[in-house]
Amino acid sequence: MEKIKVMVVDDSVVVRKIVTDVLSEDPMIQVVGTAANGRIAVAKLEQLKPDLVTMDIEMPDMNGIEAVRAIRSRAGGQAYSRVPIIMFSTLTERGASATLDALSAGANEYVTKPANVGSVAQSMESVRQQLIPKIKALTGRPITSGPAAAPAPAAVAPRPPAPRTRAAKQPAVLVIGSSTGGPEALSKVLPLLPASLPVPVLLVQHMPPVFTRQFAQRLDRLCPLQVVEAVDGTPLAPGTVHIAPGDFHLTVSSSGGNKRTALNQAPPENFCRPAVDVLFRSAVAAYDGAVLGVVLTGMGSDGRIGAGQIREAGGTVVAQDQATSVVWGMPGAVTQAGYADEVLPLGRVAEAITRLLPHPRPTGGTVRPLTTMGGAR
C-alpha cells in the first residue's frame, strides 16, 4: 500500500517540525512538503500532489480559512480541489469560531493544538493521538489502534436490517449521533426539519468544550427549530434541539412522566465523551423504545451498540450511506450490524425523519426567520 502523502501548513517553524516529526514516525505516512502560509500551500498543491493537507488557521498573507476557500473553489474542478483538509485550531472562543468557519468553507476535520502541556514530547503525543487516526480515516486507510481502530473501508452493499422481534413503535423522541464530517452534515439536515417537529431532539456531535456552544448558536441561526447547547435539567419539549456539551455525556432523565436533559462526566465510552451510545441507551430507557435514531458520518463505531438497543426495543434507526459520508465508520458499523432500517444519502435524511415521525404539531402561525451560517436573525 502506498504511503499517505501529507503537506503540513503552519506559520510556526516549531509546529511544522512537531507535526512533521510525528507523522514521519508512522510507516504509512510521508510528509511530502511544508508551507508557511495558505498562499504558498495553494501554489504547491499541483507540484506536491498530497493525499491530505494539515492547515493552520492563523497565518500571515493568506490564512487557513482563505486557503480552504481557494482550494475548494479552483475553477473547473481541477485536481486536488477536493483534497482532504484537517484544520489545526485552538481551544478558545476565537479558535472555535474560526474552525467552524473553516468547516463551512470545505475543510473536512480539525484537531486542537496542544495547550498547557509541559514538554515537546507531550505535545508530540497529543498530535499523534489526534491527528494520525483522522489522516488515515480521511484517506481510506486502516487504523490499527485507538478509538477509531478499523480496517480500511471498502465499498459494500448495505446489509439488510435484522428481522424485528416486535412491531416498530411511533417515535416520541429523535436522537442523532455524528462525528467526522458531522458539522457540515448537520447543517444540511437540521435546517430542513420544520419548526412544528412533534418531538424533542437530542444530539451528540463529537466536539470539545467551547466548540459545541458555538456550533449550537450557528445551527440555531440556520434552523426553524430552536437549537441550544444542552443544560442539565431542562424539560424536553417538541421543536428544540439539545446538543451535548463538550466533555459531558447527554442523557434523558424521566420522573413521573416528565422528561428532562441530564448531563454527567461518567467515564468515556468508545473513547468519547459525549458518546452517542450513552445518549441512545438513555433515550431507549426513558421512552420505552419509542425512539428514532439517526447516525451520520463519523470515525469509529460509537452509536452501533445504542442503535441495536433502539431497534431491539421497538425503535427505528436511519444511517447515512457510504457514498455521502466523509467517513463511513459510525453509520457503516450500524449498517453492517444489521441495525439500520434505512440507509440513505445525506440529502434524503431530513425527509426520512419527517416521514417517520408523527404528524407535525400546529405551529400557531409563528415562523422563525432563517439566515445564512454566521449571520444574525
pLDDT tens sequence across 228-249: 999 999 999 999 999 999 999 9
Predicted confidence at residue 366, as pLDDT, reads 47
Predicted confidence at residue 49, as pLDDT, reads 94
Q: From 150, 139, 102, select the one nearest 271 (Cα to Cα).
A: 150
Predicted confidence at residue 76, as pLDDT, reads 46
Could you tell me the pLDDT band of residue 365, with boundaries at 50, 70 and 90?
very low
Is the pTM higher than 0.75? The answer reads yes
Predicted confidence at residue 146, as pLDDT, reads 53
Predicted confidence at residue 153, as pLDDT, reads 54
Q: Is the pLDDT of residue 374 over 60?
A: no
Q: Is the pLDDT of residue 226 over 70?
A: yes
Active-site residue, selected from the candidate residues 206, 277, 301, 325: 206
Q: Does residue 159 or residue 105 have the better pLDDT?
A: 105
Q: From 162, 173, 194, select the one nearest 335 (Cα to Cα).
A: 162
For the chain, percent of residues with pLDDT exceeding 90:
76
Q: Is the pLDDT of residue 362 over 70?
A: no
**How many Cβ atoms from other residues are within 10 Å of residue 359's Cβ?**
7
Taking the C-alpha atoms of residue 122 and residue 174, their distance in angstroms, rounded to an integer, is 40
Could you tell me the pLDDT band of residue 120, with boundaries at 50, 70 and 90?
confident
Active-site residue, selected from the candidate residues 89, 97, 179, 325: 179
For the chain, percent of residues with pLDDT exceeding 70:
89
> How confident is the model over 199-213, as pLDDT tens digits?
999 999 999 998 999
8 Å CB contact between 110 and 183? no
**Average pLDDT for 166-188:** 95
Q: Where are the domains of the chain?
A: 4-138, 173-356
Active-site residue, selected from the candidate residues 51, 56, 277, 302: 302
Predicted confidence at residue 163, as pLDDT, reads 83
Q: Is the pLDDT of residue 89 over 50?
A: yes
> How confident is the model over 247-302, as pLDDT tens digits?
999 999 999 889 999 999 999 999 999 999 999 999 999 999 999 999 999 999 99
Q: Does residue 75 or residue 74 have the better pLDDT?
A: 74
Which class for 77: exposed (0-12), middle (13-18), buried (19 or more C-beta within 10 A)?
exposed
Predicted confidence at residue 91, as pLDDT, reads 80
Q: From 332, 334, 328, select the one nearest 182 (Cα to Cα).
A: 328
- Decide if 196 is catalytic: no
Bond before 267 cis per omega within 30 degrees: no
**Average pLDDT for 160-171:** 85
Asked if the 4-138 domain carries CATH number 3.40.50.2300, the reply is: yes
> How confident is the model over 331-355, as pLDDT tens digits?
999 999 999 999 999 999 999 999 9
- Decide if 89 is catalytic: no
- Decide if 301 is catalytic: no
Q: Is the pLDDT of residue 114 over 70?
A: yes
Asked if the 173-356 domain carries CATH number 3.60.10.10, the reply is: no
C-alpha cell at 122: 507531550
Q: Does residue 81 or residue 286 have the better pLDDT?
A: 286
Q: Is the pLDDT of residue 323 over 50?
A: yes
**Average pLDDT for 175-188:** 97
Q: Is the pLDDT of residue 303 over 70?
A: yes
